[in-house]
Each structure stands twice: as C-alpha cells, then as structure tokens.
Amino acid sequence: MSSQLPETNSDPRELIYQKLGQIALALGSPSRLKLIQILSQSPRTVEELSERSGQSVANTSQHLQRMAKEGLVACQRQGVSRIYRLANPRVLELWESLQLLAHELFPQLDEAEVALTDATLHAEATAAEVVEAVIDKKAVLLDVRESEESGATPVPESLWVPMEQLKAELKRLPRQKTIYVFCRGRYCGLASQAVKALRAAGFKAYRLRESSFRLNQLLGSGRKPRQK
C-alpha cells in the first residue's frame, strides 16, 4: 500500500509538514512501536504479531493498517495469511534513532534498560571496537535469536546459536576468545540470558546493546572501521 499525500490547497511547505505530521502520528503509539520492533527482526503474520505484542488480532490489524496507510509497513498475502514487513529500511533507522534520542532526553530510561538487561553483563568495548576484534578473529559475535529472525536479518561474521540450543552447543565456542552476544536490540533479554549461561560455563562473555541493523551497518561492508 503506497502512502498518499494529503489533499490541501495550501503552499508546498504546508503540504510537507502535514505529511510529516501524519507519519509522526502513525508512529505515536506504544503499540505500533512494539510492532515495529518485532518487524525489525523479520516479517510476521498478523496472528504472530498479535501474540508477540500482547494485543488482540483486531487491534493489531488496525495498527498495521494505519502504518501501512503511511507507507511504514507493507503487506503480502500468502495463502490465507497476511505477512507484514517494514516497508523501508529508513523506518528501522528512525526507530533506532528514536531510542537514542529518548535516552538522551530522559536518562531515567537507562534505569529501565538496566532492569531489563543487567548492566554488569554489558560490554565495555564500543561497538566499533567489538567489530574490529571480530573481523580480526580475536572475538566471536554470537547471535542467539530465533531462526526466522536470524535468517531474515543475518549479520556477517556472526555465529548463530539460538538461545534454546546454547547449552548443547557450548563445545562449538572457542574458550580462548571473548564472546559478544547480541539479540533483538537494547531492550531484549535473550542476550543477557545467554551471557549468564556462558559465564557460568567459564566463558568470557558480554552482551551488546546493538541490534542486527546497527551491526550490519558496521560489518556489512566487510571492511575494518576506520580508527578515529
């Protein structure tokens, strides 16, 4: 579904701000932001989105239609199912930028993040430093997301071991290297669970706040990031 410009007799500047306002309104809902976060990992059916977001199918469908009207998500029919995905990578970029801005404006959100993820598990190294170590084969980047998510948004240089299989796959991991674990982003608890399991097994492990989107920005080119 393509986004339509608002009907107006005003000057072009007014048209621009009206459209920007409509897009902002479409994003201005906690329920819709939850859906964007879920879709940032992989396309999903309405029913899957309903279950994962804790909303009814009817409400989920309404939110999706509102975002589709503004071109934020797209829908594809597959048999009797409707599969939704983010319509443009810029939507995910905006979602990640919104998180960064929110934490800068309201440091109290850091406390909520710590409650979700445990600050003692966070990596002290910057994302760029982690990427450099991974490219140099000095560290391991571990993806503990579900297969659908890892397959839809893969990260170069990463090793995929879903959380439910981690303990059975510990022998695959090199004990002499630091392991950096990522999942669905800064508010996801999967990486924290994985790090706790790895540390209990004697590994040196840390969780990353960065999502697959951000890691792909750093790793996608396959080149080392430049030193600042």
The alpha carbon dihedral of 40, 41, 42, 46 has a sign of negative
Q: Where do the domains of the chain lie, and which CATH numbers do they carry? A: 12-92 (1.10.10.10), 106-219 (3.40.250.10)
pLDDT of residue 228: 36
Percent of the chain with pLDDT over 70: 92
pTM of the model: 0.88
Q: What is the pLDDT of residues 90-127, one digit of tens each?
A: 999 999 999 999 999 999 999 999 999 999 999 999 99
Q: What is the pLDDT of residues 170-193, one digit of tens each?
A: 999 999 999 999 999 999 999 999
Q: What is the pLDDT of residues 148-174, one digit of tens each?
A: 999 999 999 999 999 999 999 999 999
pLDDT of residue 7: 62
Query: Which residue's entry shows tokens 């339509």?
Result: 4
Residue 5 scores a pLDDT above 80: no
Q: Name residues whose C-beta falls within 8 Å of residue 56's C-beta, 6 or more positions apart in sequence.
A: 50
Q: Name residues whose C-beta falls within 8 Å of residue 50's C-beta, 6 or more positions apart in sequence.
A: 56, 57, 59, 60
